[in-house]
Amino acid sequence: MNRSRGEEEAPRQNGSAGRKKGEQQHSEDDEAVHHFDPADDMQDDDNDPSRRREIRSKYRDLISSVQQNREDMLNPTNNKLTEVLEEANKLFKDVRQAREAALDAQLLVVASDLGKEKASQMFSEGASFDPSAFAEHVLSFMGLNRLEVEEEEQQNGETAEGYLPPDAWHRLASRAQLCFRTAPSFHYMMGSFYAEPPPPKQRTERQRKAPTKEAQRIMPTQLKKMEESHQEATEKEVERILGYLKSYYQDDPTSDISYYEFVIDPKSFSRTVENIFHTSFLIRDGLARLYLDADKLPCIVPLEGEENEAGGSAACNQCIISISPKTWRELIDAFEITDTMIQPPNAPTE
């Protein structure tokens, strides 16, 4: 027991050293107790319910004032809306919670709607146009007098419209022409004169080089041969087709020769087009004739002797025939064409 007591009493010291150590310990305890932390104080302020209620109350007051004084704030000379926004900016510095931020957003929506309406009202007032007022100003400028004819029209039971002087429209025209830009009148600097056109220059014709004898001899010969060869080929093909037509007609003069069966080549569309082209010369020159049979289908027959002369003197009716690969195939199927009646030029003759 004595040992333990001695251990407990060992830290105690007598004298000035013990007092100094004790005072030092007390001073450290006082500093720990009285130390000030700004963050702790701000946190306490954020969590203060009374402070939060005060901020929300001020926001509600601002919203209520904007809604109640809406008509006054729409006045262009009233700056109450600016003061409300400045007060809201001061309150926003103390916003810490979501409810306060929601009230700030609600105030901003109300103020922005009011500002938009105020701006549109100011714009409409600056650019407003009243047709009736404009018409009255124009009539007053033209010198309308409603008193001169008012008594007479009232006696006649008519409405008084007023009286315009004879020069009313001239007065309005002279005033309106100032609003339009007109081109200045043209004046000659040296007086009026008649400008004569300059004399035409004499054109000197250049001497063309005379073609050489070789060019004179070769070129026309070539062109002439080309024209003759093409024309001769066409004439020969027309005569060949006429020979086929006459031979088929002489074999059976009583039966009709179908035009489509005569010109269509079931194996070549291009040959079909050529046959139609060359057969048209037979019709044009009166060597053959087209007519419609009982089924309203075109048929062709050659003309000879007196029939040829009568057909040439009679009036000819021309028509245009168009054919496409699709129509060509449809005609082949419809008339059941298996072989051509006009053999190609290079095909061997039987």
pLDDT at 157: 54
Tokens of 330: 């449809």
pLDDT at 299: 92
First to last CA, the chain: 157
Structural domain contains residue 88:
yes
- Of the given ranges (150-164, 252-266, 281-295, 336-350), which has the lowest mean pLDDT? 150-164
Same-domain check for residues 120 and 139? no
The residue ranking higher by pLDDT, 223 or 294, is 294
Mean pLDDT of 40-53: 73
pLDDT band of 80, cuts 50, 70, 90: confident
State pLDDT tens for residues 107-156: 999 999 888 888 877 655 555 667 888 888 898 898 888 776 545 555 55
pLDDT at 346: 73
Same-domain check for residues 115 and 163? no
The residue ranking higher by pLDDT, 235 or 218, is 235
Mean pLDDT of 229-256: 85
Per the prediction, the chain carries an average pLDDT of 76
Structural domain contains residue 254:
yes
pLDDT band of 72, cuts 50, 70, 90: confident
Q: How many domains does the chain have?
A: 3
Could you give the count of Cα atoms lying within 13 Å of 92 in the half-sphere of its Cβ?
13
Same-domain check for residues 228 and 292? yes
Distance of alpha carbon 81 from alpha carbon 63, whole angstroms? 11
Same-domain check for residues 273 and 250? yes
Whether the model pTM is above 0.75: no
The residue ranking higher by pLDDT, 18 or 95, is 95
Same-domain check for residues 329 and 269? yes
pLDDT at 40: 54
Same-domain check for residues 83 and 163? no
State pLDDT tens for residues 316-348: 677 788 899 999 999 999 999 999 999 888 765
The residue ranking higher by pLDDT, 334 or 312, is 334
The CATH number that applies at residue 241 is: 1.10.10.580
Structural domain contains residue 118:
yes
Same-domain check for residues 155 and 120? no
Same-domain check for residues 114 and 139? no
Look at residue 60 and tell me whether its pLDDT is greater than 70. Answer: yes
C-alpha pair distances (Å), 157 with each of 52, 144, 150, 152, 327: 77, 21, 10, 9, 84
Same-domain check for residues 243 and 314? yes
pLDDT band of 14, cuts 50, 70, 90: very low
Q: Which domain holds residue 256?
A: 223-335
Same-domain check for residues 113 and 151? no
Distance of alpha carbon 322 from alpha carbon 299, whole angstroms? 17
Structural domain contains residue 87:
yes
Look at residue 5 and tell me whether its pLDDT is greater than 50. Answer: no
Same-domain check for residues 154 and 100? no
Ranges of H-type helices in the chain: 2-9, 16-34, 38-46, 49-68, 70-73, 80-92, 98-126, 131-142, 150-155, 168-176, 213-251, 259-263, 269-284, 306-313, 325-335
State pLDDT tens for residues 159-200: 556 788 889 999 998 888 888 777 767 766 666 666 677 788
